Structure 1
């Protein structure tokens, strides 16, 4: 029951909300799962057990954007709408959607039990899309032949740029066996794995619930391994840049950023699975400091280091007098196009939306009756204040 005197709905204990809403070791601070949209939005500014979850992914949107746009001001960088930056923009779309969907899912999930399910289906979908956005950036900026043309022969830190049609273009792979995978299967594999991930994560909301946190964490290990293949390749082989060039110096930080990226991912996984620190003191970290907030912080730090890694490779390409992306002449691998970047993401997003719609329909069939029953038992009567 609610009084229309500007008073927010009271927060509840775990014993007063449906079992579906209860989080492990979180005892208080629950919003009743029948909030209006306005009440959900206003709850961002009051201490609930979801407030920290919202802000730890909403504020990073602005931090990420600040570091992202820095690239377009670099000397020698092409215009922001140049094909060179198509993969970079797709990476931005992936990260932006992930952070916004995650923050909104935590803010709006108390509208109803069905809305709660839909919110987190969308959350899982944006995580999958983010992994493909990362893959596109890796493919075109870190991939050993990513639209980059090598021509002529080395002369110190420079390579002759005159095209010699009589000399065929040769593979620059240090490990030729990976050529077919990188050129043909890398992006399709990243998309396929992303689809497997959203299917698996959505299923954990309807079955496998006992081990849902472990499954969700481990299932995203697969896209990490597939997407990071170009980085693993780069770390295991010789740099494509001359050791005396400015490009080599710019890309030398790639390994550091990647190791830090991996470190934060591992730490976030530990928080997500272990449910520390609230496991040690149930009820003490209900509002601030529980594991999901730390999970959000660590995942964003991993994304930030990933961004710095990609920027280091972009700078290396822009500084290189011998590697062009793309060029008038036919490269070993075509440079980024609308179809190979935005087209891939559009096709993936269409597939993901279809999956979300299917699971949302199932959720409505399962939880719709319970939602309606809760609405009858707890009607929102507007009474006058005296």
Structure 2
């Protein structure tokens, strides 16, 4: 639902009821991920898309029906039809499970608060029950950046468990489903909860103010990262040379990395090409819970780097986390091509992709991305 937060916030602020259709499960290849929503108000105005166009008409009609009947939430399934690829279904070959529910903002003030946080750029998570007892289906709970739950209809142990699951996904920056309940202490019935997450931009830390770093900062910014360029040499680390970076830091790389905040979505890209900077920096990076660590250099440089890191105390498990030489084998030569090579590896690593051509693989094209350990 957070893909249409601006409009939903306005409707909630105006106390305007609406029907919300949300993709709660995807099987096979589908154009949009779990958590994507369409909403329809009482005047028939629609916002959002869940399939890129091929089932929107059917979803719109179902939303109008649910909104008019004011009944319980409904589930709908849309899939590819071998008999008629142009019937209501996904011609891309995937399958979507969609939950459609009526939302009355007057009874869900916590949803207005959550959407306001999203619109204003603050981290937020909305947990939505998508499978479970009818009286709980469609229920929502808001979790803020500090892990607090606000004004959701759930109470007691169930609220605490859902809140904990939502907060964990918020810290990971990932929209996903979580299973809760199934015991006397929380809820006798097993529940499936879809946690919609709006998180701060993942960080890309680029060390080494060289031409390759300039191209990489531009690519990282394009992909939605908060980009920091760090170098100990003030003559090179300037805003004029790195206009696409969100932050320029003049400091020794390892010293900056020791004091800055990182998480499992952070990408550390070491382009310094100098063991004086590389080794202390990588020694710190390999101990941190970041998602990606890559270092530029030849294979000879890599072998020497491993030797020096081992002498500095790095373990085999830590060294196994290092992506060096950095990037995928795209035959890249220019700074711009190298930036694509590096960001392609970050994407593949984050989403557990193979990096192989899709034409050489079988099975679903899209998969649920999970933060790499």
> Would you say same fold, with TM above 0.5?
no
Q: Which has the higher strand share?
A: 2
- If the length of structure 2 is used for normalisation, what is the TM-score? 0.27
Q: Which has the higher helix share?
A: 1
